[in-house]
Amino acid sequence: MTKKIIATNSTARHNYNIIDTYEAGIVLTGTEIKSIRNGKVNLKDSYGIIKNGEAYIYGMHISPYEHGNIFNKNPLRSRKLLLNKREINKLVGLIKQQGYTLVPISLYFSGNFVKLELGIGKGKKIYDKRQDIAKKEAELRIRKQLGKNMD
């Protein structure tokens, strides 16, 4: 199946060390799907929670559909994630025992279905973020130097 990426969470990999990723479906309404097809979704401040054996995403902003009138829902409402029981039990174990967090990484179409890529991550400390930035800058300098040498 082809993946057509709709939105990505740019701060996810910056703020968290992502250990593992999962693909989850989302329970959405018709006007939310139309708004997503128009690209009006934001994952920036969203996070996942497991409550009563079910996974939910909070803080995902889907703008109201312009022609949706009474059928539009609250843009920041919680949405149920579709994962199987085995995956949910594994996530519960990781989150409770080792202090990991559920972080949405990207939202995409897989065929006609909207899927969410969820990452299991542990928050980075400030010095980890600085090390990552320094490493990226060093790689960029090396690439520039190699590019000049080849010309």
Q: What is the pLDDT of residue 26?
A: 92
User: How many other β-carbons are positioned within 10 Å of the β-carbon of residue 111?
Assistant: 10
Mean pLDDT throughout 62-72?
A: 75
**pTM recorded for the entire structure:** 0.75
> For a pLDDT cut of 90, what percent of the chain falls above it?
9
**Band of residue 144 on the pLDDT scale cut at 50, 70, 90:** confident
Q: What is the pLDDT of residue 56?
A: 92
List, in order of start, the domains of the chain with CATH numbers: 3-124 (2.40.280.10)
List, in order, residues 6 or more apart from 25 with CB less than 8 Å away.
81, 82, 113, 114, 115, 116
pLDDT tens-digit series, residues 80-116: 999 889 988 888 888 887 778 889 999 998 888 889 9
Mean pLDDT throughout 10-30?
A: 85
